[in-house]
Amino acid sequence: MSTMPALRRLTEPAVPAAPRIAEIQAISRPARTFTGDFYYTHRNRDRVWLAHGDVAGKGLPAAIVMAMIQEELEQRITSCAEAACDPATTMRRLHEFLLPLMPANRFATAVIAHLRDDGTLIVANGGHCPPLIVRNDGTIEELASTGPLLGILPRPAWRSHVTRLEPGERLVLYSDGITEATLCDEELGVAGLKDILRTTADTAGILHALRERDVNDDVTLVVVRRV
């Protein structure tokens, strides 16, 4: 990787006097001038909302769709947070917004989740790269899709997966630009990313481990560590 994007340490919580439950780091680098990746975090009452996703394609067309998603996602998550919605419900509402707007050759993938102050983690995955949970004992759990891609099917359904993050454990959200990074024409894959996560704890470390590989797609990474 020839260049490394700037690291963002997202402050949490944004609500005065609320307990600090997580350290969140996010980093994003477009493959070209524009990116089709998106992410968002939002603190509401007793939980932190998280979203990460990708629009199929590269360049300006994907970036235009991404910009629509980013703006709508912020509104939908804020509204759903106030109503205490499940992440799967938020996913469905985002899909309903995208369905009439998405070009025929476009679709999006997304993970929407929230982490409560008690450590309860609820995740909905719409065809996105499987989120990884790095446990304190060194094991890494892979959370598969809980529903289809966004912006294609007329009446899709998603469900939410419920688990728990203990203090010190990490949730890793990432785009396929990372797992498709190549070395001697061999892709890193999810298994390779897991190997990296066993030796490094943050976004900068993960990108540093990719420095020898060719990365030809947008790269976006969010690491959430429960404190």
What is the CATH classification number for the domain harbouring 160? Answer: 3.60.40.10
Tell me, yes or no, whether 3 lies in a domain: no
Tell me, yes or no, whether 132 lies in a domain: yes
pLDDT digits (tens, 9 = 90+) for 27-77: 888 877 666 788 889 898 889 999 998 887 666 666 677 777 777 778 888
Tell me, yes or no, whether 2 lies in a domain: no
**Distance between the two ends of the chain, CA-based, in angstroms?**
31
Tell me, yes or no, whether 1 lies in a domain: no
Beta strands in 21-145 (DSSP E): 22-29, 37-44, 47-55, 108-116, 120-126, 132-134, 140-142
**pTM for this entry:** 0.88
Cα–Cα distances in Å, from 169 out to 66, 104, 131, 162?
30, 40, 13, 15
Per the structure, the complete domain to which residue 126 belongs is given by 8-226
Mean pLDDT by 10 residues, the chain (227 residues): 41 52 89 77 91 77 71 82 90 90 81 96 97 97 96 93 97 94 94 96 90 87 95
Tell me, yes or no, whether 123 lies in a domain: yes
Q: How many domains does the chain have?
A: 1
